[in-house]
Amino acid sequence: NYISKEFYPEGDCRNCHEVSRWSVIGFEHERTDFDLEGAHREQSCRACHFSLNNGREIQRFKNLGTQCLECHEDVHYGQFDKKGNTDCERCHAIEDWSAEKFNHDNTNFPLDGKHREVACSGCHKEVKKDDIVYVQYKIKDYRCEACH
């Protein structure tokens, strides 16, 4: 393992580890800029703080990002990017990542009439771009004849 002082809080291992028993971690994540919520609470420390760099194990505890896409793949392929940031929690619940927060009435195409009865997949189709398949959520053409 390689742990440089620049990668952990204040350069002192005792900020997290118990001296009497090194395997006991007493760190409170609430002290950071990234409080653990939802499924993040279920992850091991290594899931976020461990990586390989040229075959060497690196553990980082400082200067880690707090944006979803710094750790997670953007399965929407930039459709919801706003000036380099994607606010995933605008639609997704942090507990189980369901899209329960999404409200179609807050989009450029609020659903009314028979549109409310159409399944999401009726309008939002899979597309392929550069050998990547994803669901097209951002629809540009709202004219009736674009769908009917």
Question: Using one digit for the tens of pLDDT, what is the confidence trace for 35-49?
Answer: 999 889 999 888 988
Whole-prediction pTM? 0.72
Residue 108: CB partners within 8 Å, gap ≥ 6? 142
Assign residue 89 a region: left if phi > 0, alpha if psi is -120 to 50, beta otherwise? alpha
Dump pLDDT digits (tens) for 87-110. Answer: 999 999 988 889 999 999 999 999
